[in-house]
Chains A and B, each alone.
Chain A
């Protein structure tokens, strides 16, 4: 018995040795050595993460990093009004447009242009709001935002923002990921990749949605694209559990949860040893963070322990999923060191196809629902000394036409405006941005930008600049070349930087 088993063993050794032929050896040498040489050559170009501070640390991907230069803003709260609010009823006051109200749109404005829904010759529509100049800066803000009007001196308006996408999804992607197609990392993901998380118990990038619907571009607007998935926005909810399934199921206590996560991580660590895929390390650290978040997130996401005067100020509706609650949460998150808080509020697509999307009904109600919370956010950040280091951005994905929408050539049942790419308004406040200024101008009817034009790339470059990054140097190596948020575009809007 012993002898035969020895023989089998010898045979096996022989068989395996015969596989390693002289030819095989040379083949391996050529490819192997060549590959090594090529690798060192390419490595010498020092492309990987060119100019990036922390580079990706798989074991602790959210460890805080230094930016390129000292930051003016430590956090960003980006309030995105999904559907695109009308600049002509809020900030871009055009008295001359009122004179044209009801007249046919001149051909010169229609020739060679393409609109999402307008067909034939639409009618011009004057501002459907009453405007006043506000504060010391004399900024025009309409009566739709009576609270916000009192803090107009805190913000910098960009009145000539342009885009080249007239559909919601692509325009939102362009605004947040720099490309109107799927697959690129969002600005919050880039910021978290560059800075990590200041608070080791909370994600660096949190997303809150309201308005009953996701933004049209879906979760990709806060995705991580080709960046490691740990940088994608963590979507939290202001109603029910802040994160789905954050509570341990009935019958599982904290110790058992810990034991099971340890076991899962151990298994993952074994498979990392075998495959060396950095995504496995990300997964391990995410499990660990999830465990910590089970305690820390419900704590920070609980607005009930805020004092009554704060609730009054924001106009919150505890227990409900609403914009006001999300804004208050945004402040709480920033206070706790979250880098990027992204809010999406759906319902701003005022075409006039029904009452909710009417510029004189639904739109006014949307304005009312954000007026107090947004104003409260600025004042609350200010009184906590946080506005100085928090950049607040408000805007949509495009603007709305000075013409009344006539879908397919027929007048819509309610007053509304179509999607407009050539000029819209975005504002920024705090975080090292000038107070009480306005940059960019549109023509006398608000149709086209005439000076101080800015783009989504410029806004992205400016946000990154305030966070301490040169947008041309914050790169990630992917598919053989370094990628950046602004690709080959973008200029920091110095005119609004303090």
Chain B
């Protein structure tokens, strides 16, 4: 019986939509019925309120059962609970008032109900989706609330738990096991909580990672239901797992520094990777963060009809990748067609393009451009000026063009340019050092790779002939 009642709890998030629907309907009917044209709705008000009130009571009961699991932030639960109960009570009040004739009181009550419903609903949303769920974008789900790992200057001086382990927990476990939500009554956002354990007891066994529930769950097969983090959530990396294993099995506890804990060479190498600033999880994006309006479909059609491949860089994106590879001789006419999608084009491939200088100038309008492949094209020291205004450009392929350092000097202060391909250009090997200064963050590739000829390359190894 107990389990039967208990299984009613999880239906709370489903049930709550009934009172929301019924009561909203009742309120709308009540206000509409005041207008002559909709007077016919009046008899429906009372029954709508009754259904709303009854379902509100059911929601309260199921909500109470769900909250007794103790997985949610108690303070938010407290407010959600009492707002919910008052909502149910006032819904009954509204139901009884419909029998009375006092129109003004009825309307006041209906407004109170509306306000209560919004508050209770929002609190409920906070409980299931986490704090600030309305404003937080879906993509940055785990990143926003987690404490960011600080840069570690010297790994030996770092505190094992505070500087290495806790940030991992914050990033990978925080969304379900922290102040806002405690699945399985477990919190991993401070040492005390970790020692306290969860619903099923202790999770931390000092000196033995393999018997620590904490670690065991992390290394369970990913298909197991009990594997943590659960399917669909960002997983722990191999290195993180190794460090957690070492932290537990080496009795590093919560206050020891790295150099106070014994460590084998293997783990020392892994630890070393935690040194310095945290890995930038977001590499420089190939697509600008700002949205853009959709390109004119007619313009895209005319490009396609001319053999130019135009594709969105991703579904649900209006940014376009454009490629001229199907064309044997891209010319001015093709480039002019591109003008209409200058805002949306982010990746542009123009291999072998022979444009006149005026047409190259059109490129200066392609302000969203992040990648430009202009290998073996007629782009030169003069026409390259048109690239200077492209502040987002970070990949530039000039292989086989006549561009020299003179032209590149014009791009000196382009902030994002980090991949520069200069093989078979007029750039001399001796000038690369200067380029390195202009583009300190860039990978500059000047090509001209050769492979030595080794005797073994073409020789066949033969087994000695056996004598009988």
The reply to whether A368 and B456 form a contact with Cβ atoms under 8 Å apart is: yes
Query: Which listed residue, B421, B449, B460, B463, touches A379 by the CB 8 Å rule?
Result: B449
B14 at interface by CB-CB < 8 Å: no
A112 at interface by CB-CB < 8 Å: no
The residues in A between 46 and 94 inclusive whose CB is less than 8 angstroms from any CB of B are: 53, 63-72
What per-residue 1/0 map shows which CB atoms of B281-310 lie under 8 Å from chain A? 001011100000000000000001001011
Assign chain A's interface to a size class: 35 or more
The reply to whether B454 and A147 form a contact with Cβ atoms under 8 Å apart is: yes
Q: Which residue of A lies closest to B454 (CB)?
A: A146
What per-residue 1/0 map shows which CB atoms of A197-217 lie under 8 Å from chain B? 011110000000000000000
The answer to whether A388 and B326 touch (CB under 8 A), given A309-B450, A491-B222, is: no
What per-residue 1/0 map shows which CB atoms of A455-498 lie under 8 Å from chain B? 00000000000001000000000000000000000010011001
**Complex Cα spacing A196 to B351, Å:** 20
The reply to whether B313 and A199 form a contact with Cβ atoms under 8 Å apart is: no
Which residues in B have their C-beta under 8 angstroms from that of A360? 461
Which residues in A have their C-beta under 8 angstroms from that of B325? 198-199, 335-337
A228 at interface by CB-CB < 8 Å: no
Which residues in A have their C-beta under 8 angstroms from that of B373? 385
Q: Which residue of B lies closest to A337 (CB)?
A: B325
Q: Could you say which of A175-183, A240-248, A370-378 contacts chain B?
A: A370-378
**Complex Cα spacing A71 to B237, Å:** 22
The reply to whether A200 and B461 form a contact with Cβ atoms under 8 Å apart is: no
The reply to whether A382 and B457 form a contact with Cβ atoms under 8 Å apart is: no
B71 at interface by CB-CB < 8 Å: no
The reply to whether A368 and B447 form a contact with Cβ atoms under 8 Å apart is: no
Which residues in A have their C-beta under 8 angstroms from that of B375? 384-385
Which residues in B have their C-beta under 8 angstroms from that of A383? 399, 421, 423, 445-449
The residues in A between 308 and 356 inclusive whose CB is less than 8 angstroms from any CB of B are: 309, 312-313, 315, 335-337, 355
The reply to whether A198 and B312 form a contact with Cβ atoms under 8 Å apart is: no
What per-residue 1/0 map shows which CB atoms of A393-427 lie under 8 Å from chain B? 00000000000000000000010000000000000
CB proximity of B417 to chain A, nearest CB, Å: 13
A225 at interface by CB-CB < 8 Å: no
The residues in B between 434 and 466 inclusive whose CB is less than 8 angstroms from any CB of A are: 445-451, 453-454, 456-463
The reply to whether A200 and B309 form a contact with Cβ atoms under 8 Å apart is: yes
B128 at interface by CB-CB < 8 Å: no
The reply to whether A368 and B222 form a contact with Cβ atoms under 8 Å apart is: no
Q: Which residue of B lies closest to A382 (CB)?
A: B445
CB proximity of B308 to chain A, nearest CB, Å: 10
A361 at interface by CB-CB < 8 Å: yes
The reply to whether B449 and A67 form a contact with Cβ atoms under 8 Å apart is: no
Q: Which residue of A lies closest to B279 (CB)?
A: A498
Which residues in A have their C-beta under 8 angstroms from that of B238? 439, 451-452, 495
**Complex Cα spacing A451 to B351, Å:** 44
The answer to whether A64 and B309 touch (CB under 8 A), given A69-B314, A198-B325, A385-B445, is: yes
A288 at interface by CB-CB < 8 Å: no
B378 at interface by CB-CB < 8 Å: no
The reply to whether A67 and B315 form a contact with Cβ atoms under 8 Å apart is: yes
Which residues in B have their C-beta under 8 angstroms from that of A200? 307, 309, 326
**Complex Cα spacing A71 to B323, Å:** 15
The answer to whether A355 and B314 touch (CB under 8 A), given A313-B450, A372-B451, is: no
Which residues in B have their C-beta under 8 angstroms from that of A64? 309-311
Which residues in A have their C-beta under 8 angstroms from that of B317? 66, 70
The answer to whether A355 and B463 touch (CB under 8 A), given A65-B311, A68-B315, A451-B238, is: yes
The reply to whether A312 and B315 form a contact with Cβ atoms under 8 Å apart is: no
The answer to whether A201 and B326 touch (CB under 8 A), given A67-B315, A372-B451, A498-B283, is: yes
**Complex Cα spacing A7 to B311, Å:** 63
The answer to whether A495 and B323 touch (CB under 8 A), given A66-B311, A66-B312, A313-B451, is: no
The answer to whether A365 and B461 touch (CB under 8 A), given A66-B312, A337-B326, A385-B399, is: yes
B397 at interface by CB-CB < 8 Å: yes
What are 17 pairs between A and B in contact, CB < 8 Å?
Answer: A67-B315, A70-B313, A199-B326, A201-B326, A315-B458, A336-B325, A337-B309, A337-B325, A355-B462, A382-B449, A383-B399, A383-B449, A385-B373, A385-B399, A385-B419, A414-B463, A494-B235
Apart from A313-B450, A372-B457, A498-B283, 5 more pairs, CB < 8 Å: A53-B315, A66-B313, A198-B325, A365-B461, A385-B375
Closest 7 CB pairs of A and B: A383-B447, A385-B421, A385-B397, A337-B325, A66-B312, A379-B449, A64-B311
